[in-house]
Amino acid sequence: MIALRDHAAGVILPVRAQPGARVNAVRGEHQGALKVAVTQAPEKGKANRAVIEVLSRELKLARSQFTLLTGETSHDKRFVVSSISTVELTKRLNELLARTT
């Protein structure tokens, strides 16, 4: 289960990034975080932008709703997702994870 947390600006979504992958895709759950694979290399923020693109597409949210809170140079990242409730984000994550398995 993805460990979502409330934040003053929205909901904190933990992500485990896998840069340099063969395809851009959500790969399931990894230790309480959403595992996201991206083809971009982890240089100059390219992989972080690619992760946001994948999250935006798969969760059907605007890119502008995602703000990187921590983990700019780490595989383990935390994004603040704005303008969505924890309940709605949980629902979308559950639907996404059901499609990836």
Could you tell me if residue 53 is inside a domain? yes
In a domain, 15, yes or no: yes
Range of the domain at 10: 5-77+90-100
Task: Check if the beta carbon of residue 10 is closer than 8 Å to that of residue 2.
Answer: no
* CATH code of 63's domain: 3.30.1200.10
**Is residue 82 included in any domain, yes or no?**
no
Q: What is the pLDDT of residues 51-78, one digit of tens each?
A: 999 999 999 999 999 999 999 999 999 9
Q: What is the pTM of this model?
A: 0.94
Cα–Cα distance for residue pair 49/98, rounded to 1 Å: 25
pLDDT in tens, 80-92: 999 999 999 999 9
Instruction: Kindly provide the b/e burial profile for residues 24-56, where b requires at least 16 CB atoms within 10 angstroms of the residue's own CB.
Output: bbbeebbeebbbbbbebebeeeebbebbbbbbe
